[in-house]
């Protein structure tokens, strides 16, 4: 009798096991964001741990550099099945994922999110999320690139000029003033192989000087711009060719004025918020152009656990989670509801700079090129190689521009891609 009872208890226990409030499945979430170790740790132990606590759904988070990250998605897409449920990456990578049929149309999920009425998304970000006639992602977080400077360097800023309204001429004069006063070159750019200087060339300098990213690549204004960049390189720290994350030379004191991605400046501001200021990128003859970097979330077409995946997307885009993300890794909100929360410390310094850049009367948003498909990775090297040939190796500007324009033209002709804004969207784009 007692034995039968014991068996009975065991049987009930076994039958009840699936109903036990344990983890309700698992979602696999891949990304090429949050790759630095501290960010990974934060994503796993804070961001995603809270989701698991709330829903009982475990998250397996895989973050890798862009190459292996995209390869994993494409390999699963080609085999038609796989384990990835949700993927989060930059707007510029989504065209590849759409072309290779990796991600599904997120329109329906967007409508579900909108129906909750607890969040809205900036309209221009939603516009960017539409690729090839479908909504490729739900906006997740955003970033930009701007200038961080040591407060003591402001002493050398050109007299009578306003740093918050800086022009490219001011920047040059600033670098020259520092050099004359200290004998050192203290401007810094991330020109290292994995640095993001290429973004400065095509998204900041080109549109600010020529009003174009591609079409006026070898125009007269472009020649003037390259003459300027060559002179600017002369007041730039001579180790800039190996800088990849500008917070490092900023904290070391090798560089006093640095341009980089917000996430790559933030560690310096976090460590010593009182020592740094954040300034908008400079303005040129054609306005103050800057790049807006948007990251989005999407479900894979083969997601094994789509319901849990949708819940993860809902959690990650919730305004309170967006604030958490800003505080944790310095990516800015995509919802006005989250943007109203005022940050403190280094984040406040950064947020003020971002607002000053986006809110400047002459601000012009440039977007990353799209439509280059599998050859997206070849766009930026054209600009970086041009810089190397003209500024570092000192080759004749017109010849280099003519040769590099042919590369750009071939790339656009082969992919039949449209010009990125501010150029008119003609297809294929062609440098004049």
Partner 1 sequence: MPGEADRPRRLLPGAATPYLLVLPAAAYLALFVLYPMVQAVRLGVTDAQGAWTLEHVRRMASDLYFWPAVRYTLLVTALAVPLQVALALCIALLVNTRFPGHTAFLYVCAIPLAVSDLAAGLIWLSLFTERGYLNAALVQWGVLRSPFNFLSYEHPAWLVGAIVTTEVWRATAIVMVVLVAGLQLLPRDYVETAAVFGANRWQTLRHVLLPLLRPSLQTALIIRTVLAFQLFATVVTLSGRLVPVLAGETYFWYSLYRNPHVASVYATLVLLLSALFTWVYLRTLRPEGEGA
Q: Which residues bind partner 1 (CB under 8 A)?
A: 65-67, 70, 183-184, 191-194, 238-239, 241-242, 252-254, 374-378, 381, 385, 388-389, 392
Toward partner 1, which CB reaches closer, 328 or 377?
Answer: 377
Reference 255, options 171, 172, 178; nearest CA is 178
Closest approach, Cβ 239 to partner 1, in A, equals: 5
Toward partner 1, which CB reaches closer, 10 or 374?
Answer: 374
Closest approach, Cβ 400 to partner 1, in A, equals: 10
Toward partner 1, which CB reaches closer, 259 or 332?
Answer: 259
Q: How many residues does the chain have?
A: 432
CB–CB of 251/409 below 8 Å? no
Reference 260, options 273, 236, 278; nearest CA is 278
Closest approach, Cβ 392 to partner 1, in A, equals: 6
Reference 85, options 107, 119, 62; nearest CA is 62
Toward partner 1, which CB reaches closer, 119 or 185?
Answer: 185
Closest approach, Cβ 191 to partner 1, in A, equals: 7
Local structure of residue 366 (DSSP, 8 states)? E
Q: Count CB atoms within 10 A of the CB of residue 324.
A: 17
Closest approach, Cβ 333 to partner 1, in A, equals: 30
Closest approach, Cβ 212 to partner 1, in A, equals: 24
3-class SS of residue 431 = coil
Toward partner 1, which CB reaches closer, 163 or 198?
Answer: 198
| Rounded Cα distance, 397 and 409, in Å | 18
Q: Count CB atoms within 10 A of the CB of residue 402.
A: 13
Toward partner 1, which CB reaches closer, 192 or 287?
Answer: 192
Q: Count CB atoms within 10 A of the CB of residue 395.
A: 14
Residue with tokens 């040059």: 172
Toward partner 1, which CB reaches closer, 181 or 374?
Answer: 374
Closest approach, Cβ 185 to partner 1, in A, equals: 9
Residue with tokens 């807006």: 292
| Rounded Cα distance, 77 and 81, in Å | 7
| Rounded Cα distance, 33 and 368, in Å | 17
Strand partners, 288: 363
φ, ψ at 23 (rounded to 5°): -60, 125
């Amino acid at each position: 009798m007692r034995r039968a009872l014991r068996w009975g208890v065991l049987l009930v226990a076994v039958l009840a096991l699936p109903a036990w409030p344990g983890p309700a499945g698992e979602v696999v979430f891949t990304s090429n964001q949050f790759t630095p170790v501290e960010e990974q740790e934060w994503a796993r132990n804070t961001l995603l741990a809270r989701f698991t606590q709330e829903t009982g759904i475990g998250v397996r988070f895989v973050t890798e550099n862009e190459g292996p990250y995209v390869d994993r998605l494409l390999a699963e897409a080609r085999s038609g099945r796989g384990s990835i449920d949700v993927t989060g990456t930059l707007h510029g990578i989504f065209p590849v994922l759409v072309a290779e049929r990796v991600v599904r149309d997120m329109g329906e999920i967007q409508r579900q999110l909108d129906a909750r009425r607890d969040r809205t998304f900036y309209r221009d970000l939603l516009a960017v999320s539409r690729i090839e006639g479908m909504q490729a992602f739900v906006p997740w977080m955003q970033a930009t690139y701007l200038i961080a400077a040591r407060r003591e360097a402001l002493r050398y800023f050109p007299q009578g000029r306003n740093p918050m309204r800086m022009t490219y001429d001011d920047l040059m004069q600033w670098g020259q003033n520092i050099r004359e006063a200290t004998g050192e070159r203290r401007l810094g750019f991330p020109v290292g192989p994995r640095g993001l200087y290429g973004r400065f060339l095509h998204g900041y300098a080109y549109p600010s000087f020529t009003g174009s990213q591609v079409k006026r690549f070898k125009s007269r204004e472009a020649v003037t711009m390259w003459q300027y960049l060559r002179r600017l390189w002369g007041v730039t720290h001579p180790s800039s060719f190996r800088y990849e994350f500008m917070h490092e030379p900023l904290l070391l004191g090798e560089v006093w004025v640095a341009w980089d991605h917000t996430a790559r400046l933030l560690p310096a501001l976090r460590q010593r918020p009182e020592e740094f200021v954040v300034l908008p990128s400079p303005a040129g003859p054609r306005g103050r152009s800057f790049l807006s970097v948007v990251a989005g979330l999407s479900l894979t077409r083969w997601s094994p656990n789509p319901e849990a995946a949708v819940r993860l997307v809902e959690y990650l885009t919730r305004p309170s989670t967006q604030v958490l993300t800003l505080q944790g890794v310095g990516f800015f909100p995509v919802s006005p509801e989250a943007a109203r929360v005022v940050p403190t410390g280094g984040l406040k310094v950064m947020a003020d700079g971002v607002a000053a850049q986006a809110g400047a009367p002459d601000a012009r948003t440039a977007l990353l090129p799209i439509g280059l498909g599998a050859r997206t990775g070849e766009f930026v090297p054209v600009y970086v190689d041009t810089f190397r040939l003209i500024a570092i190796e000192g080759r004749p500007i017109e010849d280099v521009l003519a040769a590099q324009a042919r590369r750009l033209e071939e790339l656009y002709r082969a992919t039949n891609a449209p010009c990125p804004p501010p150029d008119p969207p003609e297809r294929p784009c062609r440098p004049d």
